[in-house]
Structure 1
């Protein structure tokens, strides 16, 4: 198992950037023409004058003196000098006291640490807190995100910040926290001194007390298995979901049995056994009916079932935070964020600032976090944007890995969705670094005579720099990378438009340590809105409802989903999923041949025996963006449909040699997963097929029942299906979901109930117009047709009617034309133009077809947020 060592100090390697010969560094490009930066770390004052840096340094020094943080500079050669150091944006530093020789090591450390401003504080609280041999020269190797470090040999506290205006407040907060900590410790000592200790209770020697051993001792030789069994005792398996899934399966069988009953009755009357050929459709129809059956049983449980499990912990659900009483081991964590061409200022920086705040909290608690940006756009974007990204990564000690563009020197970015390949490239480079370090690390790291370490953390850091440079050089400059790309025991996988809560790393580390059988902890997410227009509002409302429904279902014992972001993943479990790719034989973790790589890896992990867990205790602290336009949301649903088709079926051209079902799906069916979990996953998979049947099913129903007047009690008409869907999904489910919010005591249950009914027309139109696009995704996969998707838009792009109508036509022309043709044919078939024998007049035949294709016709226009804008503004084409 490879993991990120718990290094107290970390020195990033020199940047490896092939563009260094073509373009200057972002900081060098911003240097002034006059000679303020002399090439040294310190910025000198020109002509004996002062500037803004001098004034700010003097002001900060005076503020610190008022707080009693700084000592008066002494003339002693070994004295301790305290003060202020500011790094200018041109790379130099300005200090107060100015040009003091004893202050030079601190200035050099601040320059290497890449901090914007730093204070060197010495106070009574600091002196009392430290009673090691770490010197100020080691400060450059400290973890920058902690924003503070003690230096024992001088008895000082060094504080730094990313913005000059924040440094005094940061120092005040740390000083107050330090005093409170020391006082609480002193109060505990005083309290212990005021009370005499209780005498120790000793058990009598001889036979052991049976009260301490209520049952026979069973020794488990495998420590990992022992830990798993102990964790399962603390987290029992909820059994509500198995019961509800069983009832839903029984309901689906009962519904199908009515059709079989009709066949038997007809056979008794006419004795024709040919009609029993229709029973061949019963197995696939079972899976189509399974999802509505699950919804019907679920709404019954919402209304009358138990709710205590929602606020408790179970095997696959966490409703309560892990206890922080005595964390014995904090697992090192790596944050992976795949990005492409998103805006640095509008998208990436807010997300990374959120991660850095959480990193600061965790590292001050003793943990280790490193951030890796898997930047697929760095070698594709323009020179100016690239320089800004590189500067930001460098200023904030963020590691990055950027793979070559598609077609560069024969390099191929495989897959219809590039996220899996992006992550695989980063993981492969990190694993290569670990291999080189393992080969070069000495076998003996301790002195056998004294037992002391002869392999220090600084040795490990230097070894990493060498291994990193070797691994990158092996790519012949194709891969750009910099920073600490070692992967910890836990990976937090996030999107570029994510917000994370400040204390999430501690909870994840404690929960993963206590549950060694868990591979993924998927957090329930809130919604981060950008545009606040009606489509984004509707998707936000749908996403929040979905999070509540998933939380209740998983708390009841169902299998937890993995949605691909805002999730903590165990690195060892991911490495078990690595398998050789059929394309080139290279072992990869994430499948580049699947569009839904998250769903694929979740099935693989569960097949291997790992547990997935859903965590709901963050209370919306994790946030994700939703689609800003209907076209982006439609592409997302198409991607999901294409992904489930990839999981289940081979393309038709492979059926003669490989069979219709994929190897992974056959392994899933034959695995030892719980039966109710398999049924739930199957219900989810085939819900997309049920949606896709709306278009084709309504046309077939119109022809059979309306034109040819074919009727059989075995066949259920589209009118019956439409009535059930409206009653179940638009009626009963909305009413009961409002009741569920009230029963769970969720906030704003009353106002949300009003919104629940307000959004019914929106969702009726939205889901009514999905069928054709999902059918297109299925056909594209089964017939090996080209279909690809880009990343979802993260920022608002303004538009108007005149720009939007051509876009809608280019994107939806086939859907619009087909809907018009079908609706026109339907209207003609009801008029006198059609011969009487083929004329359709039954409303129960006309309405389903009209509703289905009417929704498809108006869908692109009614859900577009910019088509009603006619103002002449500056738009991005």
Structure 2
């Protein structure tokens, strides 16, 4: 019951840190490049953002006469003489020197050095500055220290043991095979280290018979070296029951065909290229849904026909005009009803099978015989998220996946579309650049939104939700570089160094052509496939090979969308409630798609085929576009255009909760998310009313959707989903109207009218009771949870979801009407970090943001009070079926910003 406790007592305090494709080269092969164009004057440097990278002042030195960073602290928190009282740069130097000496001591204790020259530990202090132990390795002109400087890693160590020497003595391949189909690179000598596959985090040096390991965290060096030694021994002696001949054969070859062979026996194992069969369970349920919908509508019109037969009033036939709206608003209700019974008693084996739109089993992995594995680009749009709290953990997760993929024989690069670089303070921007440089990350940053040119040349960040235009801009820069590289005349002796130099020149030309608007650095070339993620994402360590294998074996698939788990940042009741709701949504999506529905594309945690994305590009104002900037639902637009071009979208369910995404941390962000979705749904279907005379009612995108080759059941499912926003948005208005109609005209209304209380009761039965029972039993049947745990998890969050869904009607209708009436709405990026505020800080924020909601609640409450006590008896409204539905709307809207706000409910001061 801890989630209830949070309402009354503060949670335990926690520290929360708030065909353009050419030859692909690892990011490590790219020489340093200027990240910003040079300024023409010092005035530009002071007013126009970041200046060009310059040589940094040596560590520990401050500008003469500059203020002390500790000037605001007259008394230190540490005792006099403590080294922690030193200057920040000096303190960093001390810590680095202590760490590098400790690592060298551990290296000697573990007998990982023979005392030979050029063996030791190197540690990075700051960008371009390193320390080492022993100090004499710094003097080697082409040795370990210089190689690590060029490799640009945080920390590195040499490992010299007899086991490694013996192993390398008998190895004549450019790699050492390890268990699980992994391969660790072998380099001829130390001079090759700066051009190695950096994300493998280790390399054998053949001529010296040693191992070099590196890591982003110095304390992990020892474990990394130990694990590699253990992996070598396990590969040799792990299969004790096999003959020497078999062991030798596996040690030399390591056929990756074995990798993943124990992951299931799907039909793709037997014949990977055999077309996958469609499943007809969801189409069948959609047919039943339509049948029940027509039956319910028909039952109502049967009553109308009987009334007309009695009194001859043919005006009732006007009810025919509302049939489309009735079907649209009620379709999701009947679909949920049928779906619940399907989950209770229907088949579930399809959730562990590979079908046309769903992969329940990991694919047969590509072998080394296939050739070079495809290059993967991990694309991550970011804004003003915190570097330490949000971006850095995501990058470490990505690098672990890249490391595995490189050791399996592939290659990958990270491509960040940084929309905040030119907006944040210079110090933070420089910190981001240093971080990107250290982790071999390519990035592009565009100017801020300045349509009037107040800060220079006008620049427009198109779109209400800037993610699409951010990615378009970065990809546009990347493709311009590819266009320039296509013009390069590559001679017969062309090397990676030549390619890197050509790339550097092309990038600098693009930056110069944009006259300071574009900032860019690193490897921003696009690979065969794009894994698109958000800035607060965690990915499985071993996911890229499965992804590229499935895409290579299924050329008809343009998007492989992965189901996601949730990564929690706090333990607040609201975030955990939204976590439950998100998991519920993904479970329902997996069930629907596995049963035969078309897979959705949610815009992140998905692999896109770059060739397919290029095939549907278009030009706007002379610039190539891939993502739609005219709608907030750019992911739906992308999926629809790809499917219209003959491609498929597929859902991957075999990763479980390996992919993780963040959820809304506050009720403000979650409301904004629902508003954005509602706005996007209306934007997909209707033009604003003022444009109806010239453009018509329905958008071309919606017409294309209706005319597309998407299966009819899937179109019905999508329309049912969109209809939920209109049902939610109209709830407050229809309930208010019902209060007067039922309260004043009860008994005089046509029998066709269904009052709000009956609708409310039906919703409780279908969604709250039957829906939660069906979901709980489904999770039990697919062995995701025990039955008791699943049911308890579902029912304990009913109060939170009741308040939330009961309190968003006004906000959803605001978004729908804003688009319909042509009123601008804009949303910022969702907060990825928690900001703890006090009770007195939160109250004004709530009053400001929910002022209109509270006014509605007060007016509606006053109306009910007056309707009961301040009007003549003939006009009094005291019927329970009239009052109760409106009370639920008022209570839900009033309690939403208060009860679902952890910062307010904890009463912190």
State the TM-score, normalized to the length of structure 2: 0.84
Q: Show the counterpart of 2:827.
A: 789
Tell me if the contact between 1:538 and 1:759 (Cα under 8 Å) persists in the aligned partners: yes
Name 2:856's counterpart in structure 1: 818
In 1, the alpha carbon distance for the partners of 2:429 and 2:247 equals 62
Specify the alignment match of 1:853 in structure 2: 890
Among candidates 642, 645, 648, match of residue 685 of structure 2: 648
Residue 393 of structure 2 aligns to a residue whose secondary structure is helix
2:727 corresponds to: 690
| 8 Å Cα contact 1:375/1:401 also seen in 2 | yes
**Correspondences of 1:407-446 after superposition (within 5 Å):** 407=450, 408=455, 409-442=457-490
- The match for 2:285 is 244
How is 1:92-241 mapped onto 2 (pairs within 5 angstroms)? 92-94=130-132, 96=134, 98=136, 104-121=142-159, 123-130=165-172, 134-181=188-235, 190-191=244-245, 233-241=274-282
Name which of 753, 765, 768 aligns with 1:730: 768
TM-score calculated relative to the size of structure 1: 0.87
Q: CA–CA distance in 1 between the matches of 2:426 and 2:886?
A: 53
Q: Deviations over 1:624-668 (max 9, x none)?
A: 111111111111000000001111111111111111110011011
Deviations, residues 747-803 of structure 1 (Å, cap 9, x unaligned): 344223212212112111111111111000011001110211111111111123222
Aligned match of 1:352: 395
Offset of residue 34 of structure 1: 9.7
Aligned counterpart in structure 2 of residue 798 of structure 1, from 812, 821, 836: 836
Summarize the Cα distance change of 1:813–1:64 in structure 2 as closer, same or farther, 3 Å threshold: closer
Q: What secondary structure sits across from 1:580 in the alignment?
A: strand
Aligned: 1:482 with 2:521: yes
Q: Taking structure 1 as reference, are residues 314 and 156 closer, same or farther at Cα in structure 2, changes over 3 Å only?
A: same
What SS does structure 1 have at the residue aligned with 2:56? helix
Q: CA deviation at 1:15?
A: 2.7
Residue 7 (str. 1) matches residue 48 (str. 2): no
Mean Cα deviation higher: 392-401 or 742-751: 742-751
| 1:491–1:570 Cα contact (<8 Å) kept | yes
Unaligned stretches of 5+ residues in structure 1:
36-49, 75-80, 196-226, 447-453, 873-877
Q: Is 1:295 paired with 2:336?
A: yes
2:725 and 2:599 map into 1 onto residues whose CA distance is: 19
Structure 1 segment 329-478 matched on structure 2, within 5 A = 329-407=372-450, 408=455, 409-442=457-490, 454-478=493-517
In the TM superposition, residue 580 of structure 1 has moved relative to its aligned partner by 3.2
Contact 2:137/2:145, CA 8 A, preserved across alignment: no
Structure 2 counterparts to residues 510-589 of structure 1, below 5 A: 510-581=549-620, 584=621, 586-589=623-626
Q: 2:659 is matched with which residue?
A: 622
1:750 lines up with 2:785 in the alignment = no
Q: What is the match of residue 38 of structure 1?
A: none
Q: 1:848 to 1:57 in 2, by over 3 A?
A: closer
Distance 2:583 2:105 in 1: 50
Worse-superposed segment, 569-578 or 760-769: 569-578
- Deviation of 1:233 after TM superposition, in Å, equals 3.2
Please list the CA deviations of residues 698-718 of structure 1 after superposition, one character each: whole Å capped at 9, or x if unmatched.
122223332245411222221
Kept after mapping to 2: 8 A contact 1:830/1:841 = yes
Tell me what 1:779 maps to: 817
Moved more, 50-59 or 813-822: 50-59
The more displaced of 232-241 and 246-255 is 232-241
- Give yes or no for the alignment of 1:314 onto 2:376: no
Q: 1:695 to 1:19 in 2, by over 3 A?
A: farther
- Looking at structure 2, the residues matched to 65 and 866 of structure 1 have their Cα atoms a distance apart, in angstroms, of 52
How many aligned residue pairs are there? 808
In 2, the alpha carbon distance for the partners of 1:772 and 1:57 equals 60
The Cα of 1:315 is off from its aligned counterpart by: 1.2
State the Cα deviation string for residues 374-409 of structure 1 (Å, max 9, x = none). Answer: 111111111221222111111111111111111142
Instruction: Quickly say closer, same or farther: Cα 1:30–1:108, change in 2 above 3 A.
Output: closer
1:417 to partner: Cα distance: 0.9
Query: How far, CA to CA, are the matches of 2:825 and 2:861 in structure 1?
Result: 28
CA distance in 1, matches of 2:204, 2:744: 85
Task: Report how far residue 352 of structure 1 moved.
Answer: 1.0
Cα distance in 2 between the residues matched to 1:704 and 1:481: 63
| Cα offset, 1:599, TM superposition | 2.1
Alpha-carbon distance change, 527 to 192 in structure 1, aligned in 2, over 3 angstroms = closer
